[in-house]
Amino acid sequence: MFCFLWLNLILEQVYYLRELRGNEEPVFLIRNAYKPQGYDARFIQSPDRGAITAELLNDIETLETGKLFYVSTDGLATSESLARLIQQKYSDKRILVINSKTSGDEDEQEFMQKPDTVLDRYDIIICSPSVATGVSIEAQGIIQRVYGIFLGVSSTDADIAQSLGRVREPVQRVVWCAKSGSNYSKVSRSLNPLELKGHLQALSSTTVSLIRSSLREDLTGQFQSYDWQADPHVNLYCKLAADQNFAMRYLREAVLVRLRFEGHQVTVEDWQADNATKLLLHQAKQELRQIDAEAIIGAEDLTYAEVMVLEQKEGLEPDQRLAVAKHYLKDFYCLETLTVEDVLRDNEGRWRGELLNLESQLFPSLVG
């Protein structure tokens, strides 16, 4: 007997489990019908996140002693920009930021394991999707308000609703979400699982054609005889990818519908753009890029052997991550010394990616 714990289970996943068993025996679903107490939510509709960011900055002035604001975001850059703006305006506030850069630090790790134990050390907690599934803040009377700011760079409507629900106490939520997201499936933007499967098959066929000369004949034959319709893994992937694409295309509407479906009392507010705060966010982002670039420049110079040793470790300290990043920048651009301008031009690896794509177009024989 096998037991699966699956969050947000859909019918296709039940079929998938049954197909994996390879027989017609039924799959039993134990449904948890518990619904937590609904919360009041102000759902702000505005062209960009400037308005809700201004609301948050003003609201911090009302923060009661012994309480805190919990802010959920869907990206590293958003969490960093918010933290910088808050710190600039309220230098006395204690801020905990949990994202892919900080999730290995001591307080951040403690929050992931026992979130209630660190609440009294901070005034604002800002979390990205690096906060793992299962983290739950059960403490009562400490969270004054929950903010949600989502640009659609990673999370679907289901992920967003879950992140807003990490605080179990039904305090008010203030939510802004982009009208549409950008985290589409890499295979296709189709909303239809069958059409998406066709795109996957065509993409795979093209890839095989390009590398056919380096494949064994038996592998080529296996691909040509592959049954795309009967593979449960492919079928489930295409269904999930199509659902993800739907969420990205209609993200704001999907989040609003889901919150209401879950039993929350949602009030929609139409706001104008706040251009002044939007400019402040942009400036904060540029300042953070400059700070990160300077940190990389100041990192230790490592040899190739030292980098290989560090990459075998399960987790790296912040200074070690910077040193590894510095090594790869110097190695790729063949530089003896690195400048801030070099790091900024690289744009977190995007420029390297574009150069590699250009190389593959101009000199395909060099791409191995």
Q: Return residue ranges of the chain for CATH 3.40.50.300.
A: 40-180+250-276
**pLDDT recorded at residue 156:** 93
Torsional sign, CA 263, 268, 274, 278: positive
Q: How confident is the model at residue 234 (pLDDT cuts 50, 70, 90)?
A: very high
Q: In what order do the strands lie in the sheet with 143-150?
A: 95-98, 124-127, 68-73, 143-150, 173-177, 40-45, 265-270
The least confident of 7-21, 202-216, 232-246, 319-333 is 7-21
Q: How confident is the model at residue 3 (pLDDT cuts 50, 70, 90)?
A: low
Look at the domain 40-180+250-276 and name its fold: Rossmann fold (3.40.50)
**pLDDT recorded at residue 330:** 94
Burial of residue 172 (CB within 10 Å: 0-12, 13-18, 19+) is middle
* Angle at the Cα of 358 from the Cα atoms of 357 and 364, rounded to 5 degrees: 85
Q: What is the pLDDT of residues 51-99, one digit of tens each?
A: 999 999 999 999 999 999 999 999 889 999 999 999 999 999 999 999 8
Separation of alpha carbons 35 and 158, rounded Å: 15
Q: What is the pLDDT of residues 89-142, one digit of tens each?
A: 999 999 999 988 886 678 888 888 899 999 999 999 999 988 866 788 999 999
Whole-model pTM: value is 0.84
Q: What is the pLDDT of residues 279-300, one digit of tens each?
A: 999 999 999 999 999 999 999 9
pLDDT at 5 over 70: no
Strands (E), 35-162: 40-45, 68-73, 95-98, 124-127, 143-150
**pLDDT recorded at residue 361:** 79
pLDDT at 368 over 60: no
Contact 153, 219 (CB under 8 A): no
Nearest residue to 182 (alpha-carbon basis) of 148, 150, 160: 150
